[in-house]
Amino acid sequence: MDHSLNFGIRSDGRLVGYARVVTDYCTFAWICDVIVDEDWRGQGVGKALMDHLFSHESLATCRRFLLTTKDAHELYRRYGFEEAESNRVMLKGFAKLSEW
């Protein structure tokens, strides 16, 4: 977390949403560790995290963003994300792409 941009949403002092971005602060950003508390899902927390993230001045010059998701495809499509061509994405250390 120390070398990343960290975004959080709190309600009554409780962290209900969190996202971390690993970036070179120039052209590329990897959005990872996006977590929304189960009790808060479907209430706009994920959208608020993404709105804040994409308005952050440190990411203004980034042209390429990467993320993986198991179940929030529609949320990320709102921000211009598309599903990648799997033959171009290369991985090491992951059992199966389908487990993401």
Provide CB contacts within 8 A for 71, sequence distance 6+: none
**Which is the CATH superfamily of the domain at 5-99?**
Gcn5-related N-acetyltransferase (GNAT) (3.40.630.30)
DSSP secondary structure code for residue 94 in this structure: -
Look up residue 51 and give its amino acid: D
- Annotated domain spans of the chain: 5-99
Q: What is the pTM of this model?
A: 0.82
| Alpha helices, H only, the chain | 45-55, 73-77
pLDDT in tens, 59-93: 999 999 999 888 899 999 999 998 877 666 767 77
Q: If DSSP codes are grouped into helix, strand and coil, which group holds residue 14? A: strand
Q: Could you give the CA distance from residue 69 to residue 72 in angstroms, rounded to a whole number?
A: 6
pLDDT in tens, 26-41: 999 999 999 999 999 9
Q: Which bin fits 61, alpha (ψ -120 to 50), beta or left (φ > 0)?
A: alpha
Place of tokens 């059992």: 95
